[in-house]
Structure 1
Amino acid sequence: MANSAPPPPGVYVPAVVFFDENEELDLEAIKAHVLRLARGGVTGILVQGSNGEAQHLSHDERKLTIRLTRETLNQNGFEHVLVIAGTGGQSTKESKKLCEDAKEAGATHALVLTPGVWAPQMTKERILKFHRDVADASPIPVMIYNFPVVTAGLNLDSDIIGELGQHPNVVGTKLSCADVGKLHRLTSTLPASKFATFPGSSAVFLQGLISGSAGVIGALPNVAPKAHAELYRLWKEGKMQEATILQAMLGHADWELQKLGSIAGIKAIVTKHFGYGNTNVRGPLTPRDLEAAGAAATEKLEQLIALEKSL
């Protein structure tokens, strides 16, 4: 725990996983996706974030996809690309086990979602205890994952996350609430050398950087990793006008992706435009038919993909 450090700043992507027609893991499609993301310049890949259908996978499948991601990166010269694993379970015991599995499979950091089944009983004290207990036991540094949509509305405020940030093995957070005010409170309270604060949406990528974020962990880099790496480069070079124009494009495309259903939408877009994968998801999710959605539903995404292919 003494050597716990946050992941380096940059662009991170919660990668989708692909399934065959029997809803079994499509390993070749998963590898193809990992390689396109790495070649697109991402800093790290989050395996089993919400876009990775973590709750739809068995423990063995979760461990397999982490290992497959790490091995695929290593075998293709991308040893420097980090692998972060989503390790939130519905009990403290399960979450601890998932952190151990993640370490064994090659992840450097764990992203821990707050249990949401018993939301009315998840008081501030119980939330703090859960995350501290997991952080105490985890063999790798942990980050706090705040995503009210998938935790029955539980929305950790900056006070709770700030308290957890004092733990020596808690090194960051992903704010899928996309609350820039909360993000700025955290970045101005916890030093970046100890705690990395990431927005969980490309719609506030640049806004987060201005407020001191460590980058982004968002769904849209599944579609356009190069465009996100380009925005990050523009920001670092102080080219704010160009960065602002690109941010507008990301914001519009991210909104379209949300309306397409995010996970199913990502798979449909990737399959259509990048020559691998398929639209299969695990039930109760259902595939997305882009033709049925109509051209207007993906107009901004198409513009972003044209830019992506030009970079």
Structure 2
Amino acid sequence: QYYENRLKMLDSLRSAGVEPYPHKFDIAISIADYVAKYNSLGAGEHLLTVTESLAGRVMSKRVSSSKLFFYDLYGDGVKVQVMAGASYSEVAETEFYKCHSVVKRGDIVGIIGYPGRSSRGELSIFARNLILLSPCLHMLPNQRTGRCTAVAGKTTRAKADADCWVPGIGRNTEAYVLKDQETRYRQRYLDLMVNHQVRHIFRTRSRVISFIRRFLDERNFLEVETPMMNLIPGGASAKPFVTHHNELNMDLYMRIAPELHLKQLVVGGLDRVYEIGKQFRNEGFDLTHSPEFTGCEFYMAFMQTTMT
């Protein structure tokens, strides 16, 4: 029903000459930079002569009255409050409620307004204009969605971890909005939308790979790429995945390790080589053992001591 209602809303906007998915919106500043830039403002302070434009996803909407709306706008895991009031909006007062009534949780919107803090001290952008950039057609999970909802006085971290454990430490699954692990892993985009802590996993992985690459580059290792598909599987004792090359009419094996090709490069005279890339092993798997994983192998000729 929600999906059908949203489709009808899109049709009504188009009938009124409004494109619900505009192709362009000029962003003056990211939400993270906005928060850093105006964090020093005092409670109730407004910069009426300053105009900023932000874009992000609406994760919360609160209606104070037909002339005042509040939104929590998120971008790259950072939140800023949007205050939209008819008194300072560029939208005609007769159209103000209609403009904001179509905005739902999950929508991506553009905000043009001035910075300030609310009387309660929350950093906000006071919207003179709100542009719907990408409506979300499906309802986002709410705080009560998932399997690991707390049982008053009885829920422990151990119980939550037993139900929704993911590899690593420091993951507060009890704070997740979307807790069902099957849904989280199959719909990663939804997991990232509503569980903002998860993006730290992606950032950490990227930084680890960057550190390894920088560590080896600084020691004059040469990064190379070796074939993903091979006539003969080798480099490790594991069962390979098999694929078929239509043009050559032959079976090929997805690599289980880059070892043999890297050693051939060393034989050819490249004394220090490494590769960071995917490897595939057609074996059993669990949360810590994936049939498709990223590996790093490096080789160095004439090395007799521990590298520092």
Tell me which interval the TM-score lies in, with the shorter structure as reference length.
under 0.3
Relative contact order higher in (CA < 8 Å, ≥ 6 apart) = 1
Question: More strand by proportion, 1 or 2?
Answer: 2
The normalised TM-score by structure 1 is 0.23
The normalised TM-score by structure 2 is 0.23
